[in-house]
Amino acid sequence: MLTTLSGKGQVVIPQAIREKLNLKIGDNFIVAAKSNVIVLKRININSNFEDIFRLIKKTAKNMERKL
């Protein structure tokens, strides 16, 4: 699937992917980048900050292994 970056820096997640992952308006994501790869990880913003930071670190480690 192909998507385009808007002038406001927004990217549309295609409908098929939104439906497959059951993404809803207002969902929150962590955004991570390494080289030419961008990862969006859905999070529950009501989690405590320790859980969110642990998830960020885990996501970064996983990206390093896959690149």
Classify 38 as helix, strand or coil: strand
Q: What is the rounded distance in angstroms from the CA atom of residue 13 to the CA atom of residue 23?
A: 9
pLDDT tens-digit profile, the chain (67 residues): 899 999 999 999 999 999 999 999 999 888 888 888 888 888 877 656 677 777 778 877 777 776 5
pLDDT of residue 47: 59
- Cα distance between residue 10 and residue 33, in whole Å: 15
Alpha carbon of residue 63 to chain centroid: 12
* One-letter identity of residue 60: A
> What is the pLDDT, as a whole number, of residue 12?
94
